[in-house]
Amino acid sequence: MPRPSPTRRRHPAFPLLLLCASLSLAAASAQASGYRFGTQSAAAEGTANANGAEGADASTLFANPAAITRLKGWQFSGVLDYVNPTVRFSDAGSIISLPGSGFQPRPISAVGDQQTPTKATVVPHAYLSYQASDELAYGLGLFVPSGAKLDYAQGWGGRYNLNSVELKAFALNPNIAWKPSRQVSLAFGLTAEYMQGDLSRAVPYGSAYAAGLLAAAQQAATGGAPGLAQQLQQQAGQVFGNAAFDGNVAIHGKDWALGANLALLWEVNEATRLGLAWRSGISHKLKGTADWTQPANLPPAVLAAVTGAPYDGHGKLDHNDSGASVSVKTPDSVSLQAFHQLNSRFALMADATWTRQSTLQQLRIEFDNTTAPSITAEHWRDVWRLSLGASWRATPELLLRAGLSHDKSPVSAQWRSPALPDSDRSWYALGANYQLTANTSVDLALGYVKLRDAPMQAIDDAEGITPCNCSYATVRGNYSSSATSVGLQLNHKF
């Protein structure tokens, strides 16, 4: 679930594809901007994703499936990506507020507190292509298009915005490629995408308790009991911002949805190829559950406050467990690709990919109980990724690769959040392909990604939209992030 808002005839290779499909559901990690997974091919990873027009193996099905017309017979590529992200958050003094209470914002963290919410993960992808004739080829890709996993400490300063989030996505992408002329290949594909999201965050029931006490104090003052009113105000001041009254909400959702893709490969001459590839956005409605946990130390008076104001006033149903849903559309992307073989040993390549991230302007989580929807402003923007790569045939068996890319972030500093501590990034890559036999080769890729430092000041207030399932907490600090990756790929011709 992308950046959630707080509240709570069977071929011998086919079994390998099914195995990779099942493994793909086990882990995912965001290595590119937004929630896109950084690479689906070790051959591409060695050039920082610049080799879309190369068409060297079946993994071209992701970058440009029209290039499978260049592949003879049956071909299989199986990929394993190991990604080790390092994300470090330094707290600059996070606070929680209670609008209309008259209370000053309360600190909810220690300045300088450090968080490292990421862990290393391994993600598989698999591809199978078959050249039926000189004009027609078929392909099947199984890959992880996007993913993320962040797990913060329970008491960190952004707990009311987010404690943990995990996005898992898996795509099954059959393609057909047609070569109407000697120089031009066209491809069309459909994508069946499964997406699953889990998130949790702390709920400041102390704020609801304080609001209830303040309402009671106002009634007491109006009723001519100033002493009682003062006592209730003091009690409200004691519980507001008190982590002892924290609860939790956990949300789970999943969905299958369909998308499409088109691709073109123009072989200008034997040395030069140009590519154009488009992948559609996919509209999901993640449906699942919302599980609310109230603190065990809440007395009856607190429960009364929680199920009344400042929530929607519908009483005891407000924070009962219920169904939940959120509508999400993944972005369209368009890639322009170029490949040129300088001579028998050297080749140059490039890729420019535009991603329509601006479709994500707001996330709205709906609950089946009477709890107000959770609304998070996103305001993402369209982005470009530019990649340059080169390869060198060192020996008849060994091909060396290198590449670099710059990837813009769809998130501006104003809208950065704990769910996506993203920023502009640079990617440096090295790779190699070694021909083991006439029909089998392996690819190895090493990558290093460095992100710009990312300051954050994220307030959970739904931009003033009411009714609001808001904590009015502000998490402030700075993210310092990088990632290393290792890609391993086996290619085999049958």
What does the pLDDT read at residue 326? 87
The reply to whether 335 falls in a domain is: yes
CATH at residue 260: 2.40.160.60
What is the domain extent for residue 50? Answer: 14-493
Question: Residue 6 pLDDT more than 80?
Answer: no
> In which residue are the tokens 């590519």 written?
275
Q: 22: part of which helix (H) or strand (E)?
A: helix 14-24
What's the pLDDT score for residue 205? 87
At residue 144, the pLDDT reads 93
pLDDT band, very low/low/confident/very high, at 174 (cuts 50, 70, 90):
very high
Chain position carrying tokens 């050039």:
47
Lookup result for tokens 């073109």:
264
Residue 178 lies in a domain: yes
- State the Cα–Cα distance between residues 82 and 37, nearest whole angstrom: 12
pLDDT tens string 374-419: 888 888 999 999 999 999 999 999 999 999 999 999 988 888 888 8
Query: What is the rounded CA–CA span in Å between residue 207 and residue 204?
Result: 6
What's the pLDDT tens digit per position in 332-348?
999 999 999 999 999 99
Using the predicted structure, report yes or no on whether residue 311 has a pLDDT greater than 80: no
Q: What is the pTM of this model?
A: 0.87
Looking at the 3D structure of the chain, how many domains does it have? 1
| Distance separating alpha carbons of residues 319 and 302, to the nearest angstrom | 13
How does residue 300 score in pLDDT terms, banded at 50, 70 and 90? low
| Average of per-residue pLDDT across 462-475 | 86
Query: Residue 486: beta bridge partners?
Result: 82, 446
pLDDT at residue 413, rounded to an integer:
82
Confidence class for position 421, pLDDT limits 50, 70, 90: confident
pLDDT of residue 50: 97
Whether 110 has a pLDDT exceeding 60, the answer reads yes
Query: Within 13 Å and on the Cβ side, how many CA atoms surround 322?
Result: 18
What pLDDT, on the 0 to 100 scale, is given for residue 273? 98
Does 275 map to a domain? yes
What number is the average pLDDT over the span 229-244? 90
Report yes or no: 117 and 205 within 8 Å, Cβ to Cβ: no
Residue 318 pLDDT = 62
Q: Does the pLDDT of residue 445 top 90, yes or no?
A: yes
Q: What is the pLDDT of residue 393?
A: 97
> Is position 364 within any domain?
yes
8 inside domain: no
Question: Tokens at residue 40, please?
Answer: 């689906």
Beta bridge partners of 302: none
* Radius of gyration from C-alpha coordinates of the chain: 26
Q: Does a structural domain hold residue 363?
A: yes
Beta-strand (E) ranges in 280-345? 283-293, 322-329, 333-341
Rounded to an integer, what distance in angstroms lies between the CA atom of residue 467 and that of residue 83? 41
Q: Are the CB atoms for 377 and 161 separated by under 8 Å?
A: no
Assigned domain for 9 exists: no
C-alpha triplet 294, 295, 296: angle, nearest 5°: 115
Query: Tell me, what's the pLDDT at 256?
Result: 97
Per-residue pLDDT band for 319 (boundaries 50, 70, 90) equals: confident
Q: Is residue 37 part of a domain?
A: yes
For 12-42, what is each residue's pLDDT tens digit?
343 444 444 433 343 334 456 667 777 899 9
271 against 315, higher pLDDT:
271
Average the pLDDT over 223-236 and give the result: 89
Residues in the chain: 494
* Mean pLDDT estimate for the chain: 87
Please tell me the predicted confidence (pLDDT) of residue 402: 98
Rounded to whole angstroms, the Cα distance separating 76 from 59 reads: 8
Question: What does the pLDDT read at residue 363?
Answer: 81
What pLDDT score does 46 carry?
Answer: 96
Residue 107: the pLDDT is 95
Strand partners, 364: 375
